Amino acid sequence: MTGLPEHYPRLPLADGARERAVAAALSRHEPYELGEGVHAYVERFAAAHPHRTAVEDGEDSLGYGRLADLMRRIAAQLAAAGISRGQIVAVGGRRGADVVTAFLALELLGAVYLPVDASWPAARVESLLTDSGAALMLATGAPTDTGELVKGARAAGVPTTTPEPADASYSRTLSPDPDEVRYVLYTSGSTGRPKAAIVEHRGMLNHLWAKIDDLGLTADDRLAQTAPLSFDISVWQMLAPLLVGGRVQIFADEQAQDGALLLEALRGRGTTVLETVPTLIRFLLDAQESAGIRPGALRWMIATGEELPPALARRWHDTLPGIRLLNAYGPTECSDDVTHAELGPPAAGVRHLPIGSPIGNAELYVLREENGQWHACAHGETGELFVGGLVVGRGYLGDPERTALAFFTDPFGTGGGRLYRTGDAVRALPDGQLEYLGRVDRQMKLGGVRMELAEIEAVLGDHPRITACAVTVHTPDDTGALVARESSHTPVAAQPPRLVAYVAASGDEPTEESLRAHLSERLPAPMVPHTFVVLPRLPLTRNGKTDYQALPAPPRRRRPDTRPYAAPRGAAETAIADAVAGLLGTGRVGRNDRFLELGGDSLLAMRLVAALRGTGSAAGLRDVLRDGSPAALAALGQERRAAPGARTEAVRDDTPRTRPLTPQQAGVYFHWRLDPLSPYYSYQGSLQLDGPLDVARLARAWQLLLAENPLLLARFAENDGTDGADGQESAQQVGHEVVHEVVHHYPHWEVPLPGSARDVTADAFRATAAEEAARPFDLLTEPALRTRLFRLPDGQHRLLVTMHELLLDGWGATVLFQRLAELYEQRPAGPDPERATRYDRYLDHLTGRLATEEVAAAGEYWLRRLAGGLPVLQIAQKQRPAAPTYRGEITEAVLDERLSRRLRDTALAASATVFVPLLAAYALALSYYSDADDVIIGAPMAGRERPETADVPAFVLAMLPLRLDIDPAATLAEFTAQVRETVYDAYAAAEHPFGWTLRRLPAASRSSSATPVFQTMLNMLPYPARATTASDVRFRFVELDTGYTKYDCALYVQPHGPGRLLLQYAYQRELLDAPAARNVLESTLIALRALTDPERAEHTTVRSLDLLPGDDHR
CB 1036 within 8 A of CB 479: yes
What's the rounded Cα separation, in Å, for the pair 971 and 978? 11
What's the rounded Cα separation, in Å, for the pair 289 and 320? 10
Nearest to 428 by CA among 392, 376, 389, 362: 376
CB 113 within 8 A of CB 165: no
Q: Is the pLDDT of residue 659 over 70?
A: yes
What pLDDT is stored for residue 551 in this prediction?
Answer: 83
- In this structure, are 721 and 774 located in the same domain? yes
What pLDDT is stored for residue 161 in this prediction?
Answer: 83
Neighbours of 374 (CB within 10 A): 23
Q: Which of 639, 667, 682 is the last residue of a domain?
A: 639
What's the rounded Cα separation, in Å, for the pair 1099 and 1092? 12
What's the rounded Cα separation, in Å, for the pair 845 and 695? 37
- In this structure, are 812 and 903 located in the same domain? no
CB 180 within 8 A of CB 1: no
CB 340 within 8 A of CB 357: yes
- In this structure, are 526 and 486 located in the same domain? yes
Going from the C-alpha of 896 to that of each of 271, 285, 1019, 1082, the distances in angstroms are: 27, 12, 19, 14
Return the H-helix or E-strand segment holding 572: helix 570-584
Contacts of 274 (CB under 8 A, 6+ apart): 223, 224, 226, 266, 295, 298, 300, 301, 302
- In this structure, are 787 and 678 located in the same domain? yes
CB 983 within 8 A of CB 937: no
What pLDDT is stored for residue 143 in this prediction?
Answer: 53
What pLDDT is stored for residue 646 in this prediction?
Answer: 40
What's the rounded Cα separation, in Å, for the pair 967 and 944? 33
What's the rounded Cα separation, in Å, for the pair 124 and 120? 6
Q: Which of 502, 521, 550 is the last residue of a domain?
A: 550
CATH of the domain at 911: 3.30.559.30
- pLDDT class for 58, splitting at 50, 70, 90? confident
Percent helix, strand and coil across the chain, each to the nearest 5: 35, 25, 40
Instruction: Give start and end residues of each alpha helix (H) in 875-914.
Output: 897-909
- pLDDT single digits (tens) 1024-1074: 456 687 878 889 888 898 888 889 999 999 887 667 889 999 999 999 999
- In this structure, are 537 and 593 located in the same domain? no
SS3 labels along 154-182: HHHCCCEECCCCCCCCCCCCCCCCCCCEE
Return the H-helix or E-strand segment holding 255: helix 253-256
Nearest to 563 by CA among 611, 535, 596: 596
Count of structural domains within the chain = 5
Q: Is residue 859 part of a domain?
A: no
Return the H-helix or E-strand segment holding 668: helix 663-674
| Torsional sign, CA 461, 464, 467, 473 | negative
Return the H-helix or E-strand segment holding 877: none
- pLDDT single digits (tens) 900-943: 889 989 998 888 889 999 999 999 999 999 999 999 999 998 88
Check residues 567 and 420 and name the one with the higher pLDDT.
420
CATH of the domain at 110: 3.40.50.980
SS3 labels along 625-645: HHCCCHHHHHHHHHHCCCCCC
Q: Is residue 650 part of a domain?
A: no
- pLDDT single digits (tens) 627-653: 888 888 888 765 544 444 444 443 444
What pLDDT is stored for residue 533 in this prediction?
Answer: 85
What pLDDT is stored for residue 643 in this prediction?
Answer: 41
Residue 579 buriedness (CB in 10 A; 0-12 / 13-18 / 19+): buried
- In this structure, are 804 and 672 located in the same domain? yes
Average pLDDT for the chain:
86
Length of the chain: 1114
- Residues paired with residue 1050 on neighbouring β-strands, in sequence order: 1017, 1066
CATH of the domain at 492: 3.30.300.30
What pLDDT is stored for residue 476 in this prediction?
Answer: 65
Q: Is residue 487 part of a domain?
A: yes
Nearest to 999 by CA among 676, 671, 732, 806: 732
- pLDDT single digits (tens) 994-1004: 989 988 888 65
Contacts of 338 (CB under 8 A, 6+ apart): 329, 330, 331, 358, 359, 362, 364, 387, 391
- In this structure, are 629 and 672 located in the same domain? no
CATH of the domain at 816: 3.30.559.10
Phi (first) and psi of residue 1086, to 5 degrees: -60, -45
What's the rounded Cα separation, in Å, for the pair 1074 and 1067? 9
Of 182-186, 492-496, 503-507, highest mean pLDDT: 182-186
What's the rounded Cα separation, in Å, for the pair 1042 and 723? 37
Instruction: Give start and end residues of each alpha helix (H) in 96-200.
Output: 97-109, 122-132, 143-156
559: which DSSP letter? -
CATH of the domain at 609: 1.10.1200.10
Lowest mean pLDDT among 3-12, 86-95, 203-212, 717-726: 717-726
Q: Is residue 234 part of a domain?
A: no
What pLDDT is stored for residue 479 in this prediction?
Answer: 46
- In this structure, are 675 and 609 located in the same domain? no
Give the mean model confidence (pLDDT) for residues 1071-1096.
95
Q: Is the pLDDT of residue 730 over 70?
A: no
Instruction: Give start and end residues of each alpha helix (H) in 803-872.
Output: 810-826, 833-836, 838-850, 853-865
What pLDDT is stored for residue 916 in this prediction?
Answer: 96
C-alpha 17: how far from its chain's center? 41
What's the rounded Cα separation, in Å, for the pair 1061 and 1054? 6
Phi (first) and psi of residue 627, to 5 degrees: -130, -65
Instruction: Give start and end residues of each alpha helix (H) in 1023-1064.
Output: none
Q: Which of 589, 608, 639 is the last residue of a domain?
A: 639
In the chain, the N- to C-terminal Cα span, in Å, equals 62
Task: Tell me the three state secondary structure of residue 343.
Answer: strand
Q: What pTM was estimated for this model as a whole?
A: 0.62
Give the mean model confidence (pLDDT) for residues 348-356.
83
Lowest mean pLDDT among 535-549, 838-852, 1058-1072, 1095-1109: 535-549
- In this structure, are 693 and 831 located in the same domain? yes
Q: Is residue 852 part of a domain?
A: no
- In this structure, are 818 and 926 located in the same domain? no
- In this structure, are 504 and 619 located in the same domain? no
Q: Is residue 364 part of a domain?
A: no
CB 55 within 8 A of CB 103: no
Q: Is residue 562 part of a domain?
A: no
Lowest mean pLDDT among 438-442, 492-496, 515-519: 492-496
- In this structure, are 808 and 917 located in the same domain? no
Q: Is the pLDDT of residue 1106 over 60?
A: yes
Task: Tell me the three state secondary structure of residue 202.
Answer: helix
CB 964 within 8 A of CB 936: yes
Phi (first) and psi of residue 492, to 5 degrees: -75, 140
Q: Is residue 940 part of a domain?
A: yes
What is the CA angle 202-208-210, rounded to 5? Answer: 100
Which residue type occupies 873?
A: L
Give the mean model confidence (pLDDT) for residues 212-238.
96
Q: Is the pLDDT of residue 654 over 80?
A: no
Q: Is the pLDDT of residue 728 over 60?
A: no
Nearest to 149 by CA among 207, 203, 230, 54: 230
Phi (first) and psi of residue 201, to 5 degrees: -60, -45
Q: Is the pLDDT of residue 1113 over 60?
A: no
- pLDDT single digits (tens) 305-348: 888 888 789 999 999 999 999 999 999 999 999 999 999 999 87
- pLDDT class for 960, splitting at 50, 70, 90? very high
Query: Cα dihedral angle (429, 432, 438, 444), rounded to 10 degrees?
Result: -170
Q: Is the pLDDT of residue 738 over 80?
A: no
Question: Which range of residues forms the domain containing residue 625?
Answer: 570-639
**% of residues, the chain, pLDDT over 90:** 51
